[in-house]
Structure 1
């Protein structure tokens, strides 16, 4: 009986010790939803900007609760010798401990990205609170302004950028870059990182001043930042980013505008769907060669041609769509080879998988070999029941 009482008492003590262990009250934390990184004003410093949500005021855009400010977010910045140093300096004027588990996005200024992102990748992958699904982007604008710009639909700007990324597969004008695939490319010997571009555009219309079109800045997700190693080497425009996505992701759909077959001054809107990409490497004369085959279905969703869309018109539209998609792909390959000398399209991955032995002797000089590689690009589109012979183009 005595032993049973001692055992029961011990169990009660254990339960009391484990209950609420590590509990953190929400009113004691600064919940970060977006992060901005930029070069500091002082030499060799970094500026960290964080967007902190106000739970009491984030319930809606109109009217604040009693005692609230009405502002759903609170944004602050601090500088330091390193990212961690800057974050610790945030504690000088943040009354709550910075908490990263709810962060949606990390936005870097292009000048910061051009200096190198190794420190950024190291810090945010070591931070156990940060989700590896957090989006990562580069901007030509001030990161602190980007993460603090409130859109007309979402209360929290970080959540608005998160939704832009989640719906990006519909538009297909930027890569869906997050910490997981950034770290994967950063550590890889066969591919280079590429991150989405976000920027501020005067696209919003004020309800109070509708005559002032574009009086409100909105965040736009379009284009990409190309890297070589840990340094950004340049931008890809939205058309080049569309060509890039055929190799990085499976595009569910996309819109291309082509000229009418009978009138070049009028246009057709064509939606392509279920694009399938196949890259076949070869190694003739110790020189990489890649055959790229893309097949897709498409629908004409808007016509300004003023003619019946008969079989002949559909076939001609298919040719125009094929040539336009091929041009986008050729453009991004040319820029990767000749402008940036960076294989961010994962051709090295494809070559390594088929030629593992040759890759061992080629990986140290892959940048030079990639610059001399040749490509055959074939695009085959099918609009309804129309069929057209694929057109091939070679890039040297």
Structure 2
């Protein structure tokens, strides 16, 4: 009997502990997106996009009209933590980060340094390490506050924007984990995707006015030296950058027909990239080799040439396009930014560990002078469009 009483008491204690540790969903303000800006007085602004459960009931809440799916508010403080804590002054619920999809940092904050941002969000035990982190050219609060995309919750739309970003291959998929990992290696500088607001959406009440509603779109890459942003790459330069750091995906290469005026679209399908370091007579060099199998998906011009000749011309044009993307990017990263964000040092260390110790202290000075030879091999599939072009050639 005594043993039974002890067991019952123990189970009761466990049940009580569970009750005391429980937090009701109705008590939480679930953040879906957060923006970090710098105020004119030098303090930090943190803007949180919070899901409003009132949307499901049709109720109105503080700062929102009836049925708004989100509530957006900004806290200000000398530190990120103080700014977030100050949100509690007017939030009726505790700020909860477990569902946050994205962290947006303004370029102004990024150029001053993001070490405080990284430190706070990596120490936050509620935040997922797979949370996306990006830079925007202007104010982060504008990106966080805008209602955009196909999803009811804009933060979820931003999350899916990055999940499907390989389709356009114009920005990397950067999250808190990959950013933190970039600081572990020697002479490896981080990079983050960039987003911007652009008038793309069409107002159904005024469809003739194209691009009247602001939408969020990918806009390139922010390159850092340590924790400070030093420059940006545009979308095409970013595609050249992506060959070195992640899969380019199913990018589209726009071209023109050989000897004709008309559009051609080629889609990358099966991509392979190899970076080969060389060290000879005390000089470091690399060979970057791209091999890609592509599909001809659009041929908007007539052709009377032999198939083999057209195929060779188009393959040559695609190879030249990819090579130019990479070479323009290399010129900018090596000569202007002078930071090894494309991980050449890591590749050299893997092949020549015996020489790395002699070069690593001077790598930042060596990197801008490294010669990188780019070789591109293209195989074009789906030549059926050449057999029956939509437009007829001249008689």
Q: Which runs of 4+ in 1 moved over 3 A?
A: none
Q: CA deviation at 1:237?
A: 0.4
Conserved? CA contact 1:83–1:123, under 8 Å: yes
Q: For 1:67 and 1:370, how far apart are their aligned partners in 2?
A: 57
| Partner residue, 1:394 | none
Find the residue that maps to 1:283 and give its secondary structure: strand
1:354 paired residue among 347, 351, 354: 351
1:15 aligned onto 2:14: yes
2:58 paired residue among 45, 52, 65: 65
Task: Return the TM-score normalized by structure 1.
Answer: 0.92
How big is each residue's C-alpha offset from its partner over 1:182-208, in whole Å with a ceiling of 9 and x where there is no partner? 111133223111111100001111001
1:199 aligned onto 2:196: yes
Q: CA deviation at 1:115?
A: 0.2
Q: For 2:92 and 2:381, how far apart are their aligned partners in 1?
A: 61
1:295 aligned onto 2:283: no
Q: CA deviation at 1:370?
A: 0.6
2:53 paired residue among 47, 52, 55: 55
| Partner residue, 2:161 | 164
Conserved? CA contact 1:251–1:273, under 8 Å: no
Equivalent positions of 1:174-189 (< 5 A) are: 174-189=171-186
Q: CA deviation at 1:152?
A: 4.7
Conserved? CA contact 1:251–1:274, under 8 Å: no
Conserved? CA contact 2:60–2:67, under 8 Å: no
| Partner residue, 1:115 | 112
Q: CA deviation at 1:5?
A: 3.2
1:82 paired residue among 65, 79, 103: 79
Q: For 1:35 and 1:220, how far apart are their aligned partners in 2?
A: 17
Conserved? CA contact 1:105–1:161, under 8 Å: yes
274-283 or 4-13, which moves further after superposition? 4-13
Unaligned runs of 5+ in 2: 384-395
| Partner residue, 1:138 | 135
Find the residue that maps to 2:89 and give its secondary structure: coil
Q: CA deviation at 1:21?
A: 4.7
How big is each residue's C-alpha offset from its partner over 1:76-100, in whole Å with a ceiling of 9 and x where there is no partner? 1121111011111111111111111
Q: CA deviation at 1:379?
A: 0.4
Conserved? CA contact 1:108–1:139, under 8 Å: yes
248-257 or 311-320, which moves further after superposition? 248-257
CA-based RMSD? 1.6
Q: CA deviation at 1:156?
A: 1.1
Q: CA deviation at 1:283?
A: 1.3
Unaligned runs of 5+ in 1: 387-396
Conserved? CA contact 1:287–1:372, under 8 Å: no
Conserved? CA contact 2:187–2:364, under 8 Å: no
Q: CA deviation at 1:385?
A: 8.3
| Partner residue, 2:251 | 254
